[in-house]
Amino acid sequence: GFLDNAALGNEEWNPWEVDEKNELVASQQRYEANLKMIKKASSHLEQTSLRVQIWGKAAIGLYLWQHIFEGQLEPPDVTAQWREGSQKAGKTYFSFITGPSVVPGYFSVEAENVVLVLNGREAAKIAYATQWLHYARTLIQTRKIQRVAVVLLGNEQCNNEWIQPYLKRNGGFVNLLFITYDYALVNEEDIFQWPLGVATYRNFPVVEPSWSMLRDPRPYLCNFLGTVYKNSSREILMEILRQDGFNKLCWIAAREQWQPQETNESFKNYQDALLQSDLTLCPVGINTECYRIYEACSYGSLPVVEDVMTPGDCGNSSVCHSAPLQLLKTMGAPFIFIKNWKELPAVLEKEKKLSLQEKTERRKKLLEWYQNFKASMRHKFINTLENSFLSGDKG
């Protein structure tokens, strides 16, 4: 030893050298292991940050984005060819595009995950929706996108068979389906009921509750502005209102022909009627669920809903047995449900006796419920996407 070390000249001899070298190697290994762990953690973080692009090709997309997500759109002009918005929600970064210029193949696809908002209400709309689904399928086949969910304005009689082959469960590529009306195939696994919402195609606005909306006396007991179809329960409703003279206490404007386009005046009248009546009468149309229910909630006017099933294929699903309006009932909607308009005079008589304070309390409860309903739908939508999309290709 000593001589050997002396021969090394002025290098100092260190009896602990081997231990130090081992320690250096060990600490190097620890450092690398930590680095690996950090890298893994941050890549895991990246994995749990979803990017989702929503293509709004039906008006219910605006209800999803502006009313449920409380998202903004640029430009604000509703007639613009192209409108977009974005926001972070949950672990997900959402971007939303809509407008006539959003055409398959002519815009940049900016996320691996896509939510397609489609209209499946009638044959012409289904043909258009199918083009979008074929475009999405091509993007999946060419690995431009990985996963697809669909929000669908369903048929009012729930004839939605055309969408079935596109679902993953049936050998297709659509992971999740959110669909309006009481569709019997809703299972809360990959098919979910979605609210119809307000008529955004008529530019019904996002309404901010105000002090006066809550507190002011309202001059009308109830309102109904709408079409009265021949041989429908709406004719019975009109007759009952006339018989008891309630038509003088309510804002009633019935027409015989449905008008798809509002004039500025008719729309202003409609909003005023909601704002100035304590109750909004919601007779069934082709489906029990109608825009009027949600629009009344927006203005704190309590919906009086005709709780009867309409003809067609809608009905109870495997998870809900309260059709019609399963979603609203499950969420505890504080409405007045009636089976027959003959029950209405008793409801209105009771209404006449309520104090302003009682009405104010009820409005507050309704407006709060509606806010919570939208927040719950948002939460459910995001959670469902994250649980499905982040767990790989399950579901």
CATH code where residue 283 lies? 3.40.50
| Token pair 């900016």: residue | 110
Q: Verify that 115 and 253 share a domain, yes or no.
A: no
331 in the same domain as 245: yes
Within a domain: residue 388? no
How far apart are the C-alpha atoms of 161 and 180, rounded to whole Å? 14
Starting at the earlier edge strand, list the strands of the sheet with 302-306.
251-255, 220-227, 277-282, 302-306, 336-338
As a dihedral over the C-alpha atoms of residue 120, residue 68, residue 287, residue 168, rounded to 10 degrees, the angle is 40
Q: Which domain holds residue 110?
A: 46-194
| Type of residue at 394 | K
- 186 and 230 belong to one structural domain: no
State how far the Cα of 95 lies from the Cα of 257, in Å rounded to an integer: 39
pLDDT of residue 166: 98
In a domain, 23, yes or no: no
Question: Is residue 20 situated within a structural domain?
Answer: no
Give the C-alpha separation, 387 to 86, whole Å.
Answer: 21
Q: How far apart are CA 307 and CA 350, in angstroms?
A: 20
Q: Tell me what pLDDT residue 240 has.
A: 95
Residues 101 and 176 in one domain: yes
Say which amino acid occupies 78. V
In whole angstroms, give the CA distance from residue 220 to residue 214: 15
**Contact present, 336 and 303 (Cβ < 8 Å):** yes
Surface-to-core class of residue 87, CB atoms within 10 Å of its CB (0-12 exposed, 13-18 middle, 19+ buried): middle
How do beta strands 50-56 and 83-89 pair? Answer: unpaired
Query: How long a stretch of residues is the chain?
Result: 395
> Shortest CA distance to 63 belongs to which of 321, 357, 289?
289
φ/ψ (deg, to 5) at 234: -70, -30
Q: Give the number of domains in the chain.
A: 2
14: tokens are 């260190």
The confidence score (pLDDT) of residue 263 equals 80
Q: Let me know if residue 260 belongs to a domain.
A: yes
Give yes or no for a contact between 105 and 136, defined as CB atoms under 8 angstroms apart: no
- The residue among 272, 281, 299, 276 whose CA lies nearest residue 336 is 281
Name which of 28, 23, 80, 88 is nearest 52 in CA terms: 88
How would you write the pLDDT of the chain (395 residues) with one tens digit per residue? 434 444 444 444 444 555 656 766 766 776 676 667 666 655 544 555 899 999 999 999 999 999 999 999 999 999 999 999 999 998 999 999 999 999 999 999 999 999 999 999 999 999 999 999 999 999 999 999 999 999 999 999 999 999 999 999 999 999 999 999 999 999 999 999 999 999 999 999 999 999 999 999 999 999 999 989 888 999 999 999 999 899 999 999 987 766 666 788 888 999 999 999 999 999 999 999 999 999 999 999 999 999 999 999 999 999 989 999 999 999 999 999 999 999 999 999 999 999 999 999 999 999 999 999 999 999 999 999 999 998 864 44
Tell me the per-residue pLDDT of 328-345, one tens digit each, with 9 for 90 and over. 999 999 999 999 999 999
277, β-bridge pairs: 220
Burial class (CB in 10 A: 0-12, 13-18, 19+), 155: buried
Predicted local distance difference test score (pLDDT) of residue 2: 39
187 and 266 inside one domain: no
pLDDT at 55: 98
CA distance linking residue 297 with residue 349, whole number of Å: 22
Rg value, the chain, Cα: 29
300 sits in the region (left: phi over 0; alpha: psi -120 to 50; else beta) called left
Is the Cβ–Cβ distance between 45 and 380 less than 8 Å?
Answer: no
In a domain, 9, yes or no: no
Q: Which of 146, 169, 194 finishes a domain?
A: 194
Instruction: Give the whole-angstrom CA distance, residue 157 versus residue 181.
Output: 8
- Which among 269, 221, 280 is positioned nearest to 245, based on CA atoms? 221
- Other beta carbons within 10 Å of 310: 18
What is the distance of C-alpha 161 from the center of its chain? 22
| Residue ending a domain, choose from 167, 194, 221 | 194
Q: Answer yes or no: do 135 and 222 share one domain.
A: no
Are residue 172 and residue 260 in the same domain, yes or no? no
